[in-house]
Structure 1
Amino acid sequence: MTNNYDLGKIETVELRKIWPHEALDFTKWLAEDENLQLLGDTIGTELELIEIESSVGSFNVDIFANEVGTSRKVIIENQLEDTNHDHLGKIITYASGKDAEIIVWIVARARDEHRQAIEWLNQHTDNNFGFFLIEIQLWKIGDSKAAPRFHIVEQPNEWTKMIKLSAELTETERVKLSYWTQYNEIAKRNPEFLQLFNPQKPSKDHWTTLRCGTSDYHIALLIDTQKKCIGIEFYVPDNKEIGHRAIAAKEQFEECLCLEARPFDAKKASGLRFYKSGYDIKGNSEKWPEYIEEQIKWAISMRYLINSLDL
């Protein structure tokens, strides 16, 4: 019996057919918000453009950016050809000149010796640094438009970095790291959550950031090990108009979350914080999944409310 399935064949597209010039075409394309977001989704972070062709002494790095939520500096160097020693040297020079902690090298094809070099850098730098070697590909099916795909060739080994980090932490910091590690695992099993958010990698901080598709604001989940409470916040870094609109809508936030709002309006940042007490993080690790599930529900509800308010 013959099955007639109408299937297409995936074909690769020559990069230079779409981006003839690396700086004038590819770098400008990548710097657009939606494309920078695509790259950020690939490496697990949210990127905010600072400038293209950013000066480093007598040289220029293709893209200079921030990691949203941490303000860690990011450099992105593009090479629409095979990797070479020249560009390997450039990314180290640019990282030093820009004090960058996230280094992204995008190439047409990664040679094995350069993959090994990036792997070595990730193994021998401290926990704050991350080197990514990424191949950019273009695919199409039949007469469809070419679609970009970022393929990670080399990236930080988060498990190894986490072990190294844990050894350097205080007891309280280790508790926070463990809590957010478990949160990350639980969040990635929640389909509705994953449609709205991309969980941030675990950290030793008292918060974890949830990006909302804009650099104007984000949601953060909170824990306070001393006061034994968990929380959530709507955080606006420096857009007072949005921050004040959120504060004006605090009753709607309260009704949505069934929590009491604590508005804040600092010199730059503004927004709303919500806490719920009676959650012993340090002494009750077996109940962490319950705590985390509650925070995930808050995050989903807040995201829907934000969308309805058009903030």
Structure 2
Amino acid sequence: MKKLTVLVTILVVLLVFMMVSFSSAKGSIQLISPLSKGEKVLGINQWFPGDVDGVDTGAPQVTAEVSLFIETNSGDVLFAKNPKRKLPIASLVKVMTVLVALEHKNMDDKFVVSQGAADMEPDKMLLVAGEKLTLRELLDGIFLISANDGAEVIAEGTTGDRQEFIKLMNDKAKQLGMKDTYFANPTGLDEDSGSSYSTAYDMVILTRYLIRRYPEVVEISSTEHIYLPQTEDHQDYDMYSGINLLTTYPGVVGFKTGYTPEAGLTLITLARKNGHEVIGILLGSGSRRDEARELLDYSFGKLK
């Protein structure tokens, strides 16, 4: 009888362990301890959009070379145009820069501005070499004005080595299942040796993962204006968001714009309405604001 009791106890423990291990619903993020780094635990992506192979929803017609709009709770494809075509993505690269930084640093950690970072062009906070800013302050600059100097400061300060940071960006892309993505730098600026590239499909994966794991970045990206007062560590900074849809399209709560001569206009938009959440990607768009508005109307219309 004693042996039977022990056996039953073991079986119950095993059953509970199995239930916990498999209880994650589709789209959740499970943390796996072997991927810990210091006190930070790196997340595993378990969510992917619905099947987009061969999908081209056709209407409406847009100039963007690549587009994908997804309902993120279900993974349903709402609109697709060449969703797995690889293209340069400009400053959308900074979404991965933000993710890698958050997985290795805390919001109140301070970063020192190098002369090289201060010299970055063109979009910048106008950081001064020797200043110290927190990660949160640098993220304000990245999301509101797409600050290249801020992204460089993060890349240099997170690991102490810019190239190591870029390696972490590419390693994270592989870990998330972003099979058609390459990061050449932390800013998204064009490079003669080869620019960063991705697909709309991969960028949906990255964006959803980031906002689920670090929902505070949605608040940052939805900020229309922020003033950072002068401190003993840095001068004051006054920044306004470049995301026009924040004030012109009800339900839009961020997320990231981009432009380079090679990539053209790029956009990640995040909108929440009537219990639905939609992430939309536009690459190589002739008019990202108007096309995003049209595709959001189309997407939410399909969700009624």
Task: Kindly name which structure, 1 or 2, has the bigger radius of gyration based on alpha carbons.
Answer: 1
Which range, TM-score by smaller chain? under 0.3
TM-score of the aligned structures, taking structure 2 as reference length: 0.28
Which one scores higher on RCO, CA 8 angstroms, separation ≥ 6? 2
TM-score of the aligned structures, taking structure 1 as reference length: 0.27
